[in-house]
Amino acid sequence: MPTTFSLRTARDDAPNALFVALDRARAAGERLLDLTTSNPTTAGIPHDASAILAAIADPRSLVYAPEPLGLPSAREAAAATFASHGATVDPSRVALTASTSEAYAVLFKVLCDPGDEILVPAPSYPLLGFLAEFESVALRTYPLVHAGRWHVDLEALRAAISPRTKAIVVVSPNNPTGSYLGEEELERMLDLDLPIVSDEVFATYPMSERVPEGRVATVAGATRGLVFALSGLSKLAALPQMKLGWIGVSGAEDLAARAMRRLELVLDAYLSVGTPVQHALPAILSSRAAAEDAIRARARENLRALRAIMKEAPSASVLDVEGGWYAIVRVPDMKTDERWALDLAVRDHVAVQPGYFFDMDRGAHLVVSLLTPEPVFAEGAARLAARVREDA
């Protein structure tokens, strides 16, 4: 019989036009201003290297002592991170995973059977589609609407629920909108009697000194329903290579207890979290201030610069950003956002992401990373503004 593969992994391998254009520019030796930078370990973000390296050299890492939900010391350290947002999560209600992506995969297994549905926001990060498909789960979207400030369209959310809907995903702050979930939005979601999976990896990066009033820093600590709060070292400590995330489980006591048993069953089958990083977690979290402070300062400065520079192109605008390290520029819809991104790549040697990558299907939008080093970001933003002035 011929070899066959699953439909879940069937993909068109042809690169998109933007990838081709950027690849050609790099191959030609062009100096490319990359405004899509998302890797903090290559973006000039400082870390407390000595503390991190000492932590992962812990001799206890030479002993394999498998714990499906994670080592007690690591779960305690992960639970303590929610306290910075005013939430109390008992370490017994924390499960460790190798990443936030794995946390999604584990939760889809726990909550869904093949063919079930998960509600996800749009715009949002495109990785969710792949993760769901790999678990044979269908995604249905509910809209985030921008009206001076981003908000969840609660009526559309309710209308999207079907008999096969098993959970609602929120990303707070959202990537790419930078919007936190609202307090009232959370309460109305809990009223729907569906589990809530809240991706909070950017929660410690508000654009102001604190999370905006009326917004939710974390769903952890909820006392009704069933909620899962996701975080991890990738963003919290700017260390994606350490491969450690966690799920904080809250809500009604009986539901949370049942969820923990299901999580333990799935995680026991994989045991994917490395022992060294678990032992190192308390020290890594204690040393994260240098990276966190640097990211907050850079994101805020780049956003300030972007707003100032884009005033020179009145037909474009920077949408409201509450947190995270991305920003959205609305550009004239005389051409598609893909065409804008291609023109910037070919004519201006600037890399940005078109809004359709994130399911932005109305108007033309470009997404830029505020993690980009400041001089590169300012020069790239200036070229973006010039391109809008020339073409609009």
Say how far apart CA 76 and CA 50 lie, in whole Å: 23
Indicate the pTM of the whole model: 0.95
Model pLDDT, residue 117: 98
Q: Where exactly does CATH 3.40.640.10 map onto the chain?
A: 49-286
What is the predicted pLDDT for the residue at 28? Answer: 84
Q: Which residue's structure tokens are 């903090």?
A: 40
Coil, helix or strand at residue 383: helix
Order of all β-strands in the sheet with 326-331: 317-318, 326-331, 364-369, 353-354
Domain at 16-46+290-391: CATH architecture: Alpha-Beta Complex (3.90)
CATH tag for 49-286 (out of 3.20.20.80, 3.40.50.2300, 3.40.50.1000, 3.40.640.10): 3.40.640.10
Q: Yes or no: say if 107 and 228 are a contact pair by the CB < 8 Å rule.
A: yes
Q: Helix, strand, coil % (nearest 5) of the chain?
A: 45, 20, 40
What was the pLDDT predicted at 148?
87
CA separation, residue 351 to residues 138, 212, 300, 319, 355 (Å): 31, 31, 20, 19, 13
Residues of the chain with CATH 3.90.1150.10: 16-46+290-391
What is the model's pLDDT at position 280? 98
10-residue averages of pLDDT along the chain (392 residues): 84 83 85 96 96 96 96 98 94 98 98 98 93 96 94 97 98 97 97 98 95 95 96 97 98 97 98 97 97 98 98 96 97 96 96 96 95 98 98 88
Q: Which amino acid is at 341?
A: A
pLDDT value for 95: 98
Contact 315/332 with Cβ under 8 angstroms? yes
pLDDT tens string 234-270: 999 999 999 999 999 999 999 999 999 999 999 999 9
Task: Compute the distance between CA of residue 199 and CA of residue 358 in angstroms, rounded to an integer.
Answer: 16
| 3 state SS of 222 | coil
Q: What is the pLDDT of residue 198?
A: 98
Q: Which two tokens stand for residue 36?
A: 């899509």
Q: If residue 33 lies in a helix (H) or strand (E), which one and from where to where?
A: strand 33-34
